[in-house]
């Protein structure tokens, strides 16, 4: 059939696109964003149990394979180029990674890279490193502890990004490098910030944990006192805060700069600054303070850092107290700063925030796996060698027979089978014997080789014994740690200052002095009233059901102490409170002094120093009492709050103050209306603030003291019958008239 002719021009076919399908944001995140997030967390920002990030590990392993652990230094550019075979990032990113690991940069307690040239300084943002073509580097001898056993199958090896090379998943570090090398990293949705600890202290703690997996936190705190930063400085040590960091892996470590005062030049020389700041940040802040007129004590300042180390110099005006000035600078600049701890570590590719003991436990688990693999590798090698030597031993009986078999074998491929048949050995042994050189076919050579058999058998037995006994495996790791400590441990660089010895800066604004009368009520209200105001109105306004507890005459510059029902002591100054009128209820003391919820003051005193021979007298509801010397409450720093001021075994019933050689009488009344009166000199003095004291009044089961009253007036002759000369003493039942008089006395 003839093809039909076209009658009209054909139009091109239209391509119809399907309408775009909407995609849920959750699907977009899951498919596109989550792989990126996991890559950053697992392969970039968070260190693993060997204490290294992938960039560190790839760089160090490349240098190891280049022979830089034992060989001479090479150009940094060469190292960077070789590292790109494992780490396909820009050369500058790799070089910056190496810079931080060098001895010259001073960022690590134990540098991994022995460097030559300018590598900048960790404590300065302006002191930049030289280009990689100018500097040289090699691995420091300390890196022997990173790579020990890596050639003995200690860790898994994986392909690099293009499958042309192998690289280790982790490095088999022989010490807990994760807590010795400082590391910080910001991933997606999480971060890691690990401070460095002293190598010797970490080794001691790990050995103790190997011996006792249930090591107490107090023992760990004794062994690992605090972090130890490469830049030194002074750590403000608070044991309870350190305990929280060790337990949770999260917290803050405050660090102060260290300085010297040059009296001849009247200048301060700062020689160590916190690890978390730089010289430039400090200098900028000092310059700003001088411009604002807030730092008139300083006439000039400059950075005098040189090859000998860091030095920041401040020239002072005549008469300036250098210690007081530094206290001011600690508050107003980063000369005092904090290192924020966040011990986030990858364990089996899972990020976990852990405390120090948990990290060490995980490292021990990792290290035991590495040592087992090393020992298994050695065991196989030794067994293989023993197997060959046992075969060699069989031809010792008839060397001529071996030679005869080889000589009379027509075909080369029949040599091995004929030796196997002739001596009853396997193919591997026969191959080994056949490869022996003719010159070695003498009795001396063979006897010497066979002599190794006993040594190999003993070594194999030792390795099998260690592999079969976890305690011996731990003992081997402990001995390695002891050797590392002996070889590489250094004294602490960061000094420890107890938080009690640290004084806070307070602006010198001396208030006006005048005479006042102060009052404390049972509900915790405090009044400061001028004597002039009292002349017009002595009637005190109190909250409903409240009553006056204590009052005293003093001046506006005196020091006050308050003791509460929660075993705490608070210090304040009279000038801290506003003057009020008698018609005012006063200031609520628990809120003013930031007391704990429900805490109330039970004692107030104007305290003038802490003289020897004077005591606080504490009476408890369980009938016990104790005298504590006031010298026990003196602190070097200006602490506003003191915990554990007295024993918490029993609720407090009364607090009194005894001056030197001025004992007084106290009346104790229990809830059964029995009373005794005794002199404070009968109560023993204890040197420990939290001492529970001794029994003063014997109480029957369920009874407690209802009141403890001081200043018993001698006019109450009827009370003489209650006086006791020895303790403990039984109470005497109060007569009705005594009970009424006493009640009136207490209510006044």
Q: Which residues are catalytic?
A: 134
Residue among 221, 229, 181, 458 nearest 357 (CA): 221
Pairing of strands 652-658, 113-116: unpaired
Residue given tokens 């750590």 in the structure block: 235
DSSP 421-446: HHHT--HHHHHHHHTS-GGG-SHHHH
For strand 697-698 and strand 729-730, is the pairing parallel, antiparallel, or unpaired? parallel
d(C-alpha 364, C-alpha 176), whole Å: 8
Q: Give SS3 for 349.
A: coil
User: What backbone torsions phi and psi does residue 618 show, to the nearest 5 degrees?
Assistant: -115, 125
Alpha-carbon distance of 450 to 454, in angstroms, equals 8
Residues 541, 584 contacting (CB under 8 angstroms): yes
Helix 54-65 and helix 76-83, axial crossing angle in degrees, nearest 10: 110
Report CA-CA distances (Å) from 392 to 384, 436, 459. 13, 10, 19
Give the H/E segment covering residue 167: strand 166-168
In the structure encoding, which two tokens stand for residue 356, read together? 């120090």
| Bridge partner list, 185 | 192
Measuring CA to CA, how many Å separate 79 from each of 139, 158, 163? 11, 21, 20
End-to-end CA distance of the chain: 133
C-beta contacts of 464-469 below 8 A and 24+ residues apart = 464/379, 466/375, 467/372, 467/375, 467/376, 467/379
Give the integer Cα–Cα distance in Å for 177 and 197.
Answer: 9
**Do 525 and 543 form a contact (C-beta atoms < 8 A)?**
yes
Kindly compute the dihedral angle of the four CA atoms of residues 449, 454, 460, 463, in this order, to the nearest 10 degrees: -120
Q: Retrieve residue 731's tokens.
A: 């109470």
Give the span between the Cα atoms of 712 and 424, in whole angstroms: 110
Which element (helix H / strand E) includes 523?
A: none
How big is the chain, counted in residues?
A: 748
Burial of 530 (0-12, 13-18, 19+ CB in 10 A): middle
Residues 6+ positions from 149 with CB-CB distance below 8 Å: 172, 174, 370, 371, 373, 374
Q: What are phi and psi of 463, to 5 degrees?
A: -65, -45
Q: Are strands 641-642 and 569-573 parallel, antiparallel or unpaired?
A: antiparallel
- 3-state SS, 572-637, equals EEHHHCCCCCCCCCCEEHHHHCCCCCCCCEEEEEECCCCCCCCEEEEEECCCEEEEEEHHHHCCCC
Render 717-742 in DSSP notation, one character per residue: GGGGGGB-SSSSEE-EEPPHHHHHHH
Structure tokens at 229: 């930063």
Cα→Cα distances 546→348, 525, 582, Å: 63, 9, 15
């Amino acid at each position: 059939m003839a093809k039909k002719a076209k009658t009209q021009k054909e139009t091109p076919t239209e391509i119809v696109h399907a309408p775009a399908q909407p995609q849920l944001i959750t699907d977009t995140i899951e498919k596109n964003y989550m792989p990126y997030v996991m890559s950053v967390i697992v392969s970039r920002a968070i260190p693993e149990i060997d204490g290294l990030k992938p960039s560190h590990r790839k760089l160090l392993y490349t240098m190891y394979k280049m022979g830089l652990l034992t060989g001479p230094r090479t150009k940094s550019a060469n190292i960077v180029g070789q590292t790109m075979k494992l780490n396909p990032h820009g050369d500058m990113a790799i070089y910056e990674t190496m810079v931080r690991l060098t001895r010259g940069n001073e960022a690590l307690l134990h540098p991994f890279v022995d460097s030559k040239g300018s590598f900048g300084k960790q404590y300065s943002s302006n002191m930049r490193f030289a280009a990689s073509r100018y500097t040289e580097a090699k691995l420091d001898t300390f890196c022997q502890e990173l790579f020990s056993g890596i050639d003995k199958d200690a860790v898994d090896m994986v392909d690099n990004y293009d499958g042309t090379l192998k690289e280790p998943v982790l490095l088999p570090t022989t010490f807990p490098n994760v807590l010795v090398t400082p590391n910080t990293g910001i991933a997606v949705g999480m971060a890691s910030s690990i401070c460095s600890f002293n190598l010797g202290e970490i080794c001691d703690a790990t050995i103790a944990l190997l011996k006792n997996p249930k090591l107490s936190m107090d023992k760990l705190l004794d062994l690992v006192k605090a972090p130890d930063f490469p830049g030194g400085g002074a750590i403000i040590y608070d044991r309870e805060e350190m305990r929280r960091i060790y337990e949770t892996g999260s917290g803050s470590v405050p660090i102060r700069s260290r300085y010297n005062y040059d009296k001849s030049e009247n200048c301060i020389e700062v020689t160590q600054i916190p690890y978390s700041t730089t010289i430039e940040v400090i200098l900028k802040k000092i310059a700003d303070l001088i411009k604002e007129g807030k730092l008139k004590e300083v006439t000039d300042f400059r950075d005098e850092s040189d090859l000998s180390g860091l030095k920041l110099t401040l020239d002072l005006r005549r008469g300036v107290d250098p210690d007081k000035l530094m206290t001011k600078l600690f508050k107003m600049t980063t000369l005092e700063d904090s290192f924020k701890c966040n011990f986030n570590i990858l364990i089996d590719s899972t990020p976990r925030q852990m405390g120090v003991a948990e990290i060490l436990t995980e490292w021990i688990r990792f290290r035991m796996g590495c040592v087992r693999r090393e020992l298994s590798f050695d065991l196989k090698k030794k067994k293989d060698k023993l197997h060959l030597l046992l075969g060699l031993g069989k031809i010792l009986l008839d060397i001529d027979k071996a030679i005869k078999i080889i000589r009379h074998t027509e075909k080369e491929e029949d040599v091995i089978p004929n030796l196997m048949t002739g001596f009853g050995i396997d193919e591997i042994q026969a191959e080994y014997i056949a490869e022996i050189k003719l010159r070695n076919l003498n009795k001396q050579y063979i006897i010497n080789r066979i002599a190794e058999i006993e040594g190999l058998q003993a070594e194999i037995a030792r390795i099998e014994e260690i592999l079969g006994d976890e305690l011996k495996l731990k003992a081997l790791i402990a001995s390695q740690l002891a050797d590392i400590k002996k070889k590489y441990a250094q004294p602490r660089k960061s000094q420890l200052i107890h938080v009690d010895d640290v004084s806070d800066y307070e602006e010198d604004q001396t208030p006006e002095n005048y005479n006042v009368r102060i009052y404390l009520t049972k509900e915790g209200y405090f009044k400061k009233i001028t004597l002039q105001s009292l002349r017009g109105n002595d009637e005190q306004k109190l909250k409903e059901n409240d009553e006056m507890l204590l009052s005293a005459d003093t001046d506006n510059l005196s020091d006050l102490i308050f003791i509460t029902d929660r075993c705490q002591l608070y210090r304040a100054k009279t000038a801290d409170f506003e003057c009020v009128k008698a018609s005012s209820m006063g200031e609520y003391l628990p809120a003013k002094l930031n007391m704990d919820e429900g805490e109330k003051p039970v004692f107030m005193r104007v305290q003038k120093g802490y003289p020897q021979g004077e005591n606080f007298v504490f009476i408890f509801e369980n009938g016990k009492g104790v005298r504590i010397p006031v010298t026990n409450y003196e602190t070097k720093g200006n602490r506003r709050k003191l915990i554990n001021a007295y024993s918490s075994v029993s609720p407090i019933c009364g607090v009194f103050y005894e001056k030197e050689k001025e004992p007084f009488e106290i009346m104790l009344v229990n809830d059964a209306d029995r009373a005794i009166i005794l002199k404070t000199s009968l109560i023993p003095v204890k040197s420990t603030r939290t001492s529970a004291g001794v029994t003063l009044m014997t109480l029957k089961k369920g009874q407690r003291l209802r009141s403890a009253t001081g200043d018993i007036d001698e006019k109450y002759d009827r009370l003489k019958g209650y006086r006791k000369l020895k303790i403990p003493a039984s109470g005497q039942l109060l007569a009705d008239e005594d009970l009424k008089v006493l009640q009136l006395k207490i209510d006044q």
